[in-house]
Amino acid sequence: MTTKSVLAAVDDDAAPLTHHQLRELYTLMAAVRHLDTSAVAWQRQGIIPGYAPELGQEAAQVGSGYAVDRTRDFVFPTYREMGVARAMGLDMVGYMSTHKATWHGGMYNPLESRFAPIQAVVAGSVLHAVGWAHGQTLAGHAAGEIGVAMTYFGDGASSQGDVHEAMNFAAVMKAPVVFFIQNNGWAISVPTERQVAGGSVAARAAGYGIPSLQVDGNDVVAVFEATRSAFAHCRAGNGPVVIEAMTYRRGPHSTADDPGRYRTLDEERLDAGDDPLERFKQRLLTEGVADEAFFAEAQRLAEAEEEAVRAGIADLGPRPGAEMFSLVFQEPTPALQSQATAWRKESEHV
């Protein structure tokens, strides 16, 4: 599919990506593809209890995450944004620790990484992005300097009331926030046509007077460019933008899911469209941006990275139980302190 603008496209006169940047995007996608498929294998091997794969969504995630400026922007993910995290340069052991069941939300530092804790409630953090973005307005940053919030959610999450409240708030307040929908065709077993009324999520933006773009979510460059212009729009003080990246979630929703109960493999093959990684590789070859040696090297780097992350995950012991008590509040309550004391006494006794 081609990029289609539902409302007027926002634009800036950004330069086309350099060859170096194009190769970097490919390297990131290769790393994400390999880490993602490996994480599914880790689950099968019992290294982690569960994982939410993003096979087929690499372009949507890497293309958008690559547009984030970590010195001033902030990303509000769901549970499936490993590729965004990787594109933003997060500590991937810290990220994967959530899937290891080490800690809800991840072991990385959200303030340093500019990546909010992993969120399990669908649409839970869409409003947080609006609040954070409004904070940028209140802080009085000059237009052009302002930080932008980008919130990720799915076509299923778009049915939540919080998304509608968030879009309305953002539009009324002109908050610098990018609503980035990955429409991967499915919300667990429910296809988009049984989920989204009004034609598309992007089409809803019109009701709030928010400019929106539907973008080919399997084209990493198109996604990057759409996100970059959305950021420019927000940074210039024009308020929010909705981007709906049309993509496809191949394989299961999570490692606990059995997609065979709601679609056949043939349907999956037919509906999924081009593999975003393979498609980008062909483009880079055709345009002479990269050669086979480069792709082999990208794969080698991805494998080395996966080994390092797997080792890091394996080394992650359980957190000391005392943290369960000490991280609830900044100022713990006496009841909680005495529960911690009792716990310590009784668990040391055993």
Partner 1 sequence: MSETMTALPGIETATAGVHQLSMQQALNRALDEILAGNPKTVIFGEDCGRLGGVFRITDGLQAKHGEERVFDTPLAESGILGMSVGLAMAGFHPIPEVQFDGFAYPAINQIVCQIARMNYRSRGTLPMPITLRVPSFGGIRAPEHHGESLESLFAHVPGLKVVSPSTPHDAYHLLKYAATRPDPVIFMEPKSRYWQKGPVDLANALPGKSPHDGDPSSGGSLTGARVAREGRHLTLVAWGAMVARCLQVAELAAEDGIDVEVLDLRWLKPIDAEALATSVGKTRRAVVVHEAPLTSGLGAEVAQLITQSCFATLKAPVERVTGFDVPYPSGDLEDEYIPNIDRILFGIQRVLEYRRG
- The burial class, CB within 10 Å (0-12 / 13-18 / 19+), for 285 is middle
Q: Do 153 and 126 touch, CB atoms closer than 8 A?
A: yes
Q: Does 252 bind partner 1 (CB under 8 A)?
A: no
19 binds, among ligand TPP, partner 1, none (CB under 5 to 8 A by kind): none
Q: Which of 325, 163, 332, 344 is nearest to 244 (CA)?
A: 163
249 carries an active-site annotation: yes
The set of residues, in sequence order, having a beta carbon less than 8 Å from that of 235 and lying 6+ positions away, is: 143, 144, 145, 146, 148, 176
Q: 58-65 vs 276-286: helix axis angle to the nearest 10?
A: 70
253 carries an active-site annotation: yes
Q: Does 15 bind partner 1 (CB under 8 A)?
A: no
Binding residues for partner 1 restricted to 270-289, rule: CB under 8 A: none
What the block records as the tokens of 151 is 């919130």
Say which DSSP state 277 is in.
H
Percent of the chain as helix, strand, coil, to the nearest 5: 50, 10, 40
331 binds, among ligand TPP, partner 1, none (CB under 5 to 8 A by kind): partner 1
Q: Which of 198, 178, 170, 241 is nearest to 9 (CA)?
A: 241
Binding site for ligand TPP (CB under 6 A): 80, 120-122, 153-157, 184, 186-188, 249, 253
Instruction: Please report how close the Cβ of residue 208 comes to partner 1 at its closest, in angstroms.
Output: 11
Instruction: Please report how close the Cβ of residue 254 comes to ligand TPP at its closest, in angstroms.
Output: 8
Rounded CA-CA distance 305/324 in Å is: 31
Residue span 202-221 as binding mask against partner 1, x where in contact by CB under 8 A, dash where not? --------------------
Instruction: Please report how close the Cβ of residue 64 comes to ligand TPP at its closest, in angstroms.
Output: 14
Residue span 145-184 as binding mask against partner 1, x where in contact by CB under 8 A, dash where not? ----x-----------xx--xx-xx--x------------
CA atoms within 13 Å, Cβ hemisphere of 83: 31
293 binds, among partner 1, ligand TPP, none (CB under 5 to 8 A by kind): none
Binding residues for partner 1 restricted to 55-94, rule: CB under 8 A: 74, 76
CA atoms within 13 Å, Cβ hemisphere of 8: 7
154/251 with CB nearer ligand TPP? 154
120/322 with CB nearer ligand TPP? 120
Q: Do 89 and 27 touch, CB atoms closer than 8 A?
A: no
Q: Which of 72, 164, 262, 279 is catalytic?
A: 262
Q: Do 243 and 152 touch, CB atoms closer than 8 A?
A: no
Binding residues for partner 1 restricted to 93-112, rule: CB under 8 A: 103-105, 107, 109-111
188 binds, among ligand TPP, partner 1, none (CB under 5 to 8 A by kind): ligand TPP
Residue with tokens 């975003």: 276
Return the residue nearest ligand TPP (CB atom).
154
The set of residues, in sequence order, having a beta carbon less than 8 Å from that of 264 and lying 6+ positions away, is: none
Kindly state the number of chain residues that form the binding site for partner 1, as judged by CB under 8 A.
47
The binding site for partner 1 (CB under 8 A) comprises 74, 76, 103-105, 107, 109-111, 116-117, 121, 124-136, 138-139, 149, 161-162, 165-166, 168-169, 172, 323, 327-337
Report the catalytic residues.
249, 253, 262
